[in-house]
Amino acid sequence: MDGENELREFLVSRRARITPEQAKLPAYGGNRRVAGLRREEVAMLAGVSVDYYTKLERGAVGVVSPSVLDAVARALQLTSTERDHLFHLTGTTASLRPVAQPERTTVRPTVQRILDGLSDSPAFVATAARNLVAANALGRAVYSPLYDAAPDGIPNTARYAFLEPSAKEFFVDWRTAAANLVANLRREIATDPLNRALEQLVDELNRRSPEFGELWRSHDVRTHDAGAKSIRHPVVGELQLTFEAMPLPADPGQNLVVYGAEPGSETADRLRLLASWSAADARS
């Protein structure tokens, strides 16, 4: 990825979202050439010169102080995730990895035992590049369409979402799920720009999926720590699931993802039915 272009396109896309009214600026008539803020308006709101902000937007200012980036983030009304993304794009962070780390496609035995111990909850270990490198039995059952579509036995949620026709049936609100996925990937690649597997995934999806390309160009960024997911399982029907994603500190680049359902809900009943179906299928 071209860092200067990424920074420019991100800042341009963010200021295009903010109207003068939202920024509490006086109206300047109806002859504006842009719907959002002009560069000089962002510069004024951030307390920097127009020349400096223009150079920042072009990625041509070198080292940027955190206080300036905070001021720009406030001017553009960035979310906390978007603010972190801006810091990563400008290299104003100590969290960038200095060397490329190959993606691990296996998990330690102790991690697999944790997965298997969560027998009532679908659970996975996922990488930054969205490879599901391990799962428990219920996790494999819930994501059985992804496993069926994975030629090497390692599903990739992003490839499935954008390259498999069945994904639009599997994800109840495919558009929202796809937008969240792309926003998560953009944050990941800014946080870990030397992740070759992640870079290859984004390049592939940009080439092969116009829908991915459209969402990628929006420059939205979001975290993937917790939330809700609705899927339509081919055996038990619709499942309304919550999820929590937790990094595995001893295994950089891997996250434990655990799904759940409200106690007593129809989804909880369907998960129990799915567990029985999975067990019977394993015995046959």
Q: How much is the pLDDT for 147?
A: 96
Residue 103 lies in a domain: no
pLDDT band per the 50, 70, 90 thresholds, residue 44: very high
61 has pLDDT over 90:
no
pLDDT band per the 50, 70, 90 thresholds, residue 95: very low
pLDDT over 70 for what percent of the chain? 93
| Domain match, 269 and 219 both | yes
| Domain match, 271 and 165 both | yes
pLDDT band per the 50, 70, 90 thresholds, residue 282: low
Across the range 244-255, mean pLDDT stands at: 92
Q: CA 240, CA 236: separation in Å to the nearest integer?
A: 12
User: What is the CATH number for 37?
Assistant: 1.10.260.40
Residue 30 lies in a domain: yes
Q: What's the whole-model pTM score? A: 0.82
Residue 50 lies in a domain: yes
Residue 102 lies in a domain: no
Residue 97 lies in a domain: no
Q: How much is the pLDDT for 35?
A: 75
| Domain match, 44 and 173 both | no
Q: What is the DSSP string of the chain?
A: --HHHHHHHHHHHHHHH--TTTTTPPP--S--SSSS--HHHHHHHHTS-HHHHHHHHTT-S-S--HHHHHHHHHHTT--HHHHHHHHHHTT--S-S-SS--PPP-S--HHHHHHHHH-TTS-EEEEETT-BEEEE-HHHHHHTHHHHHT-TTS--BHHHHHHH-TTHHHHBTTHHHHHHHHHHHHHHHHHH-TT-HHHHHHHHHHHHH-HHHHHHHTTT-----SEEEEEEEETTTEEEEEEEEEEE-TTSTTEEEEEEE--TTSHHHHHHHHHHHHHHHHHH-
Last residue of a domain, one of 54, 89, 124: 89
| Domain match, 130 and 195 both | yes
| Domain match, 227 and 143 both | yes
Instruction: Give residue-wise pLDDT tens across range 191-238.
Output: 888 889 999 999 999 999 999 999 999 999 998 889 999 999 999 999
| Domain match, 154 and 270 both | yes
| Domain match, 120 and 82 both | no
| Domain match, 211 and 250 both | yes
| Domain match, 68 and 140 both | no
| Domain match, 61 and 117 both | no
Q: How many domains, in total, are found in the chain? A: 2
Residue 94 lies in a domain: no
Across the range 263-269, mean pLDDT stands at: 96
Residue 104 lies in a domain: no
Domain that holds residue 246: 109-283
Q: CA 90, CA 65: separation in Å to the nearest integer?
A: 10
Q: Assess contact for 139 and 116: CB atoms under 8 A.
A: no
- Segment among 101-105, 110-114, 118-122 with least mean pLDDT: 101-105
| Domain match, 205 and 170 both | yes
| Domain match, 119 and 207 both | yes
Count of residues in the chain: 284
pLDDT band per the 50, 70, 90 thresholds, residue 28: low
User: What is the CATH number for 277?
Assistant: 3.30.450.180
The mean pLDDT value of the chain amounts to 90
Residue 230 lies in a domain: yes
